[in-house]
Amino acid sequence: MITYPFTYKRAKSVAEAETLLKATSESKLLAGGQTLIAAMKMRLANPPELIDISGIKELNYIRVGGGQVAIGAATIHYDVATSAEVAKAIPALAHLAGVIGDPAVRHKGTIGGSVANNDPAADYPAAVLALGATIKTNKRAIKADDFFTGMFSTALEDGEIITEIAFPIPEKAAYKKFANPASRYAMAGVFVAKFKDGIRVAATGAAPCVFRVPEMEAALAKNFTPDAVANIAVDASNMNSDLHGSAEYRANLVTVMAKRAVAEAA
């Protein structure tokens, strides 16, 4: 049997994680392990060293104030889903965290791991983009519009550790997803956010990477009702197509989920 040995280290602080990352090339941060451990089991990843950041206290918090909800990168989905403060400030965000995967995934998976991974079918990227969140790292702050660069790809550089995601609090917001019945990942999920100065709409699950829908944003700015988006279709030629659903099916789901999200938010 072929074995793939690796060392495991548990960091106690962001500074320690940073030092450990620098020390071994191709070492990987481990948060909830819900993606990374599965990838290693399937031999899709073979890092020589894992640096576990899940126990770092300074990465585990939810703070509401100053017009934003700030969540530490190692905060698990369950804590966001059940936070009374998040439910009060941005109920759509608590709802989104509560429909990720299943209870086991929600008790291990973290917001930082989800955003860093940028799975095309992940839920958090839709909230990050639609709410115009800021992704804070050990080196800088990155605007959501600059962060998601493609399928499983982000603006993160080598050695960069997400420390916090800061979400501006909107006037209204809602997230609706059509989940794959087996994995619970989004076949299509749409997050709609209404701010004093405009509307932002982001779709996940349907295309190789989360994306904004400017036509819907413009229509909703004039008329914030489900009817305003009912006849707006995204281009099927940019959507994913696989055994779970065709590109045309996913494009249609984006419109349907957008209508439902606006109905809920309104």
Instruction: CB nearer to ligand FAD: give 161 or 174.
Output: 161
b vs e for 84-104, b when ≥16 Cβ sit within 10 Å of the residue's Cβ?
eebbebbbbbbbbbebbbeee
Which amino acid is it at 50?
A: L
How far is residue 172's CA from residue 200's CA, in Å, rounded to a whole number?
11
Residue 245 DSSP symbol: B
Q: Closest CB to ligand FAD among 148 and 194?
A: 148
Kindly state the smallest distance separating residue 144's Cβ from ligand FAD, in Å: 15
Interactions with ligand FAD, residue window 196-235 (CB under 6 A): none
**Residue of 62, 87, 105, 266 interacting with ligand FAD (CB under 6 A):** 105
d(CA 79, CA 93): 12
Measured from the CB atom, the residue of 44 and 221 that comes closer to ligand FAD is: 44
Candidates 101, 120, 132, 245; binder of ligand FAD (CB under 6 A) is: 101
Contact set for ligand FAD, span 16-55 (CB under 6 A): 28-36, 38, 53
CB-nearer residue toward ligand FAD: 76 or 199:
76
Residues of span 138-177 touching ligand FAD by CB under 6 A: 161-162
- Do strands 7-10 and 49-52 pair parallel, antiparallel, or not at all (unpaired)? parallel
Edge-to-edge strand ranges of the sheet holding 49-52: 7-10, 49-52, 28-30
Q: Which of 61, 26, 21 is nearest to 160 (CA)?
A: 21
Residues contacting ligand FAD: total by CB under 6 A: 31
Shortest distance, position 177 Cβ to ligand FAD, whole Å: 8
Residues 110-129, mask of contacts with ligand FAD (x by CB under 6 A): x-xxx-xx----xxx-----
